[in-house]
Amino acid sequence: MINLTEKPPDLIKMEVQMTIPQTEIFQFLQSKGYEIKGFPIHYAATEEFLVSDPAHTWHTFTATKKDEVQCADNQFLKVFQKEIKLLLKPIS
């Protein structure tokens, strides 16, 4: 869904809401030269005053270019968001 709203004096507010299959995000990133690989992100146990969270592992994917090392910073959704911002930059 795309919503366009005029904002006086001369601006347009654009809101885009989409549901995209994960495979299409992978295809988009691969077309930009990224390699998609599985990656576990480990979270250590935390104990605070009233909150106690056990250690857990989140299995996700990373999108890396050649010679990049897999890490939580190149988790595929973060990379996808960065690429979409670059795509929209010429009109923003």
Question: According to the model, what pLDDT value does residue 7 have?
Answer: 93
Question: According to the model, what pLDDT value does residue 26 have?
Answer: 97
Q: Give the Cα separation of 64 and 30 in Å (integer).
A: 9
Q: How many domains does the chain have?
A: 1
Question: According to the model, what pLDDT value does residue 27 have?
Answer: 97
Q: Quick check: pTM over 0.75?
A: yes
What is the domain range of residue 33?
A: 2-91
Question: According to the model, what pLDDT value does residue 60 have?
Answer: 94
Give per-residue pLDDT as tens, 11-66.
Answer: 999 999 999 999 999 999 999 999 999 999 888 888 888 888 888 898 999 999 99
CA angle 50, 52, 58 (to 5 degrees): 145
For residue 83, what are the CA distances in angstroms to 15, 44, 63? 17, 30, 11
- The total number of residues written for the chain in this structure: 92
